[in-house]
Chain A
Amino acid sequence: MDVIIAGLVLGALYAIVALGYTMVYGIIELINFAHGDVFTFGAFVAIPILNRLVNQNDFNVPVGQSIFAVTVSVLAAAALCGILGVVIERIAYRPLRNAPRLAPLITAIGVSLILENALFQWQGGLPVFTPVAISRSTYTILGSPITNVQILVIVVAILMMVALDLFINRTNLGKAMRAVAQDREAASMMGINVDRIIAVTFLVGSALAGAGAVFYLLYEGSVGYNSGFTLGLFAFTAAVLGGIGNIRGAMLGGIVIGLISSWIESLGNGSGTEWYEPVIFATLVLILVFRPAGLLGTNTTEKV
């Protein structure tokens, strides 16, 4: 049960990041390798805000102060990450929209390296710690301890995914996104401004990563300049597992990857921690070899 709780929390975070990969892939068939670094950027934005808004030496933060600090940092991180995502698309990907697919892919790796090094220059190579923004309290579910932060992460992740699902399936912009994902040219002939829809996709995906980064921070307590890149690779694996381009697949894939990694970590009295990375990437290879369309990939053309 402990393993499942930890797995769900981790999986929820992977799922949120995986959504960004899968949305962008769905709409322009690009693996946006910079997405993980946008996530780190979100965490780095949140740290000074949390430092300012909560007393760093106080382990008993009043609830009101916690809510305020977390809300402000989530909004700031989501907004700035959203803008960063849009800027990256505008500068690095849009000029290559009609180039062969390898060109934007390599560019995405380049953008990732640039961001990572910029983040390194900004905060240095050591992990940056955050103050305790929410005082821990522990509950028991089915005999296993669960902290309020773990509950928060799971609940917020579910809310974000439901909101995104409604946005894509119920709103006019969401409909336009699905149309662009299926047939960009036909969509544009329906009066849909394709450039704008792609920008909105980057905005939403990156904002989700920014918000997710704050909750990662609350849960893990620290972040390094390359944390997002590693987490991004797991999230990418999750997106592929669910069927890249498929929104609900990314959510499912995230949870599954989270559960697998926390299960592997729990094996062998803790020596499993050295093994979860190889196992997850081996999973990636196995999916690509045996089921490239992913778990929910039966309708391969459903992209966003």
Chain B
Amino acid sequence: MAEPVQPPMLETRDLSRRFGGLTAVGGLNFEVRLGEILSLIGPNGAGKTTVFNLISGIYPPTSGEILFQGQSIGGLKPDRVRRRGISRTFQTLRLFDNMSVLENVLVGYHSRLRSNLIGDMIKPPWVTRAEHEAVERARSTLEALSPRLLSRQEFRAGDLAYADRRLLELARALVSEPSLLMLDEPTAGMNPTEAAEFMQRINRIHADGYTILLIEHNLGVVMGVSHRIVVLDYGEKIAEGTPEEVRQDERVIEAYLGRKATAT
């Protein structure tokens, strides 16, 4: 792991989001460095997914700033954020179930294509060429991730098995070669074997040069893949550091692990 000499890929400054009287995220400062895998963990309701939604533009911050590659992206619409180079997956799968596997990945490539009504209707050679390139990219992304998915490219996405749907969502996020990949609980609903496989896959994606921001409940996965961890509780950062440091942090044990231990 390279030392963090470069400016951060993503940085939040006093990022807050309130829903009515509830502060989902309050004064959050953290950064994702180029080339690292950073995990965001915390008990249920700690505000992890809210942070993802703020970064990806689903709703604007109440206050504070989000800087991506040094530029403010707070309050930008999701499609602008994606075009800047941030992709994400969802905690609950949100595939386009009625489209084919290949089409789902192609939609993920949309941010890299420029299309307009006239070009799409007349289909001049450059549009056709761009479309062929998109299909090639989509197929190679699927193949790199799972040859099995490629062989099922004409299947309806809704008909795939659960683990394949997870992979497809990942392919859809990766196809546009984002600078920052955000994964929201990618192993949710997987059995331990599948989760371990997924962990290897995350490592492989990281080896390809991706910077990854991960939300994960499975602490085995978190401790296994993360370079650094940020721990949230009630929308605030209570700890930050390497897996080793976080594991030994008393506030973390109390807020997260302790509570979890008593719950089980």
Contact = CB atoms under 8 A, between A and B. Distances in A.
A192 B107 contact: yes
A179 B108 CA distance: 10
A149 B77 CA distance: 49
A175 B83 contact: no
Interface stretch (B32-40, B94-102, B189-197, B211-219): B94-102
Interface of B: 56-58, 77-79, 81-83, 87-88, 90, 94, 96-99, 103, 106-108, 110-113, 115-117, 120-121, 123, 131, 134, 172, 176
B135 to A, nearest CB: 11
A189 B52 CA distance: 12
Contacts of B96: 178-179, 182-183, 186-187
Interface in A255-304: 299, 301-302
B79 A183 contact: no
Contacts of B77: 188, 193
Contact of A186 (B90, B111, B120): B90
Contacts of B107: 175-176, 179, 187, 190, 192
A175 B99 contact: yes
B117 A299 contact: no
**From DSSP, what is the main secondary structure of chain A's interface residues?**
helix
A175 B107 CA distance: 7
A175 B112 CA distance: 14
Nearest to A193: B79
B98 A172 contact: no
Interface of A: 167, 171-176, 178-179, 182-183, 185-194, 200, 203-204, 299, 301-302
B246 to A, nearest CB: 29
B98 A301 contact: yes
5 contacts: A172-B113, A189-B78, A190-B79, A190-B111, A192-B110
B97 A191 contact: no
A175 B103 contact: yes
Contacts of B98: 178, 182, 299, 301-302
Given A172-B131, A175-B99, A182-B97, A190 B172 contact: yes
B96 to A, nearest CB: 5
Contacts of B106: 172, 175
B108 A185 contact: no
Given A179-B99, A191-B111, A185 B78 contact: yes
B110 A176 contact: yes
Nearest to B77: A188
The CB with the most chain A CB atoms within 10 A, among B81, B97, B108, B117, is that of: B117
A175 B106 CA distance: 9
A299 B79 CA distance: 28
